[in-house]
Structures are given as structure tokens and as C-alpha cells.
Amino acid sequence: MQDGKKWWRSPWFLAVAALILLGAGFAAGYLAHRTPPAETKPSATTQPATQTGTEPEPTSLQEVTAVMAFIPLSYWNPVYVAMEKGYFAEENLHINLQYAPEGSFGAIKQVGAGQASFALASGDAILKARDQGIPVVAVYQMSHANTYSLITSPTIQSLSAMRGKTIAIAGFGSPTELVARGILDHAGVSQADVQFVAVGTAIVQTLLAGKADAIGGAIEHELLAKAGNPDVKIYRGADYGANFVGLCVLTNEELATSDPDGLVERFLRAFQKGLQFATDSSHLDEATDIFIDHFNPDAASQRQLHRTIWREVVSADILPRSYSLGGFNWSQWDFTAAELLRLGILQKAADLYAAANPWYLKKL
């Protein structure tokens, strides 16, 4: 190679290699969980198993599809833990886990269309979806500080310098777009001043390859971008006028209001047990190891990265020491709705008590 340099040790190459490995892990995890094994599908005449203190037989479990907003990551540790520890099985549930590479809005659309019963997606995207007539409801707020960010090339010296630039995002309607728009507006840069390009999971690669001037991203994108170029600049929504509602558990309106067999309550009870375990300071790395060892072995080479992502999510996003698990931060919902309306992302004022239903928290 030129000048005898070991290009394969460069930060840029290592970051791209890490992204390739993450992509391989996504493919493996997606294929593994897209369709549950045939023997776990309950028949039409299956009755709920009697709780005996042991995990029910797989054929007795009610099959439920849940969608995660992006790719397999330690972000979803509460779900992985609840599946591996048998918390869902204790509630007579078998989870068919799927992913929406385009982000929150893709996951939300699946729930709204009846293709899934639950999803983990951002509250700002839920409000946007409802504004478009998609009948979804948040029933549990997992995140309490917005850790999405605008990550810019080192050549961009300030947010005002973003005028005329290109921003890569996972998908339109996702928090990678919505938070980026809020951050830019805070700096006096309008949507008309920039160009958004949806690139799916290839966000960081797009930035490092110089195909975009900035990206809308989350914690894992920050870490990978920094590994590829330590000089990238990071502007988090919570610090730059876009502390929008983050990850929530959501379901469709019909299920949220009727719930004849207690499905929502059972799902949330198992999810909360998983979240309690995964956010316990003595189990942080164990929770991530469950994700890697049992759900995505191809991510083993990036074990420390995923551990770091989860630790940052817990300390900066979930904030279990400051907020009760699942509790709704109504001032954050009020702010998000008002800002999205002001920015023109919502066409009408949001009905927050229809968009977010705290009733099930009383039953956990």
C-alpha cells in the first residue's frame, strides 16, 4: 500500500468494518426471529396454560409479533432479557421478534396496519403517525431524555453552517429526521435550507464516505462515527432544543382500548421485568451478553461496543434513578407536540391523552 501504511488499522477502516459486522449481525438476527419455529405456533383451539411455576410448553403459548425500530442492538435488551429469562412465557406469550430497518415510523406502520401487536418506537414518531391517521397508542414510556443527535462532518464548524448541506437519515418520519429538524430549527436553519436523504441502516457509512455532510443518529451512530473520525461533531437533541419523547412501547388503538384477554397488560408486565433486570447496575453487561449470546451471536466481535451502547442508553436515556420505569413524562410530551406542530411536522394539535395511555401502568 502507499508509503507502506497499514490501512487496515486506520480508524476509518475499523469503523466501517464494525458497521459491516453490525450489518451481518442484523441479517442473522432478522432471519432468526422473522418467523418463529413451526412447533411454537399455537393452534386455533389452544387454551392458555395453567401457571404452575414452570415455563409452559411452547405449543400452549399465545404467539405475538413485536417490532423493534431499526436493527438488532442492545437498545432492545429488555425484550431480549424477557424472552431469555422466560418472563414472556410466564405470561403465556411467545414473541415473534421483527425489525424495521427504516426506524420508528416503519415499526409504527406495521402496528397500525395490524401486522404486529406491539413495537418499540419513539414518541415523536407516534405523534406524527397519529397525525396521519395511523391508529397507534403509547402504553409505556421507556426513554426519558432524548439521545438522538445530529452528527456532522468536522468541516461543519457550526449548526448555522448546515445551510445547503445534505443529511442522511434512517427513514422519513423517524427520530433521525424529526430530532435533526428540531436541532436545526433551534439554530435558525429551516427544513428548506437542507436536504434529507433516507439511507436505511447505512447512516454512518454515508457520513464517513463523505456522501452526506451530517447524519441524524442515535448512540450507536455516535460511537461508530467517532471511531471512524474522532473529529465529528455531535449535537444531541436534549441539549439543542429537541428533547422529544423517545422510545415507548406502543400498540394499536383497538387493542389498547379493548384488550379482551389482557394481552397488553401481560406483555407490559413481562417487558417491565426485563427492563428492571437490564437496568440493574449489577446486570448491565449480562443483559447485553444475553442479546449477543442468545439472539445475535454474529455481534460477539462487537461485544464491548454493544455493552457501551446499553450503558449509555441506561444512564443518559432511560434514567432509572430519576424516573419510574414506564412512567409518562407529560411535560416532555407537551413540549414534543407543541414543537412538532410549530415545525409543521404535525398538521393539527395532538390529543396527548389519546396518543399516550398510562392506564396499564396502574396494573403493573
pLDDT at 16 over 80: no
Cβ pair 215, 184 in contact under 8 A = no
Q: What's the CA gap between 335 and 66, in Å, rounded?
A: 28
Residue 198 has which C-alpha cell? Answer: 433516507
Domain architecture of the chain: domains with CATH: 11-37+57-145+245-363 (3.40.190.10), 149-239 (3.40.190.10)
* Burial annotation 254-276 (CB, 10 A radius, 16+ → b, else e): ebbeebeeebbbbbbbbbbbbbb
- Winning range, highest mean pLDDT, from 133-137, 198-202, 226-230, 237-241: 133-137
pLDDT for res 218? 93
pLDDT for res 49? 28
pLDDT category at 47 given cuts 50, 70, 90 is very low
Which of 311, 270, 314, 246 lies closest to 104 in space, CA to CA? 246
CA 243, chain centre distance (Å): 16
The tens digit of pLDDT for each residue in 138-194 reads: 999 999 999 999 999 999 999 999 999 999 999 999 999 999 999 999 999 999 999
Cβ pair 271, 82 in contact under 8 A = yes
pLDDT for res 2? 35
Residue 307 has which C-alpha cell? Answer: 455493552
The tens digit of pLDDT for each residue in 328-351 reads: 999 999 999 999 999 999 999 999
Q: What's the CA gap between 83 and 291, in Å, rounded?
A: 10
Q: What's the CA gap between 271 and 75, in Å, rounded?
A: 13
Q: What's the CA gap between 246 and 17, in Å, rounded?
A: 29
pLDDT category at 29 given cuts 50, 70, 90 is very low
pLDDT for res 12? 40
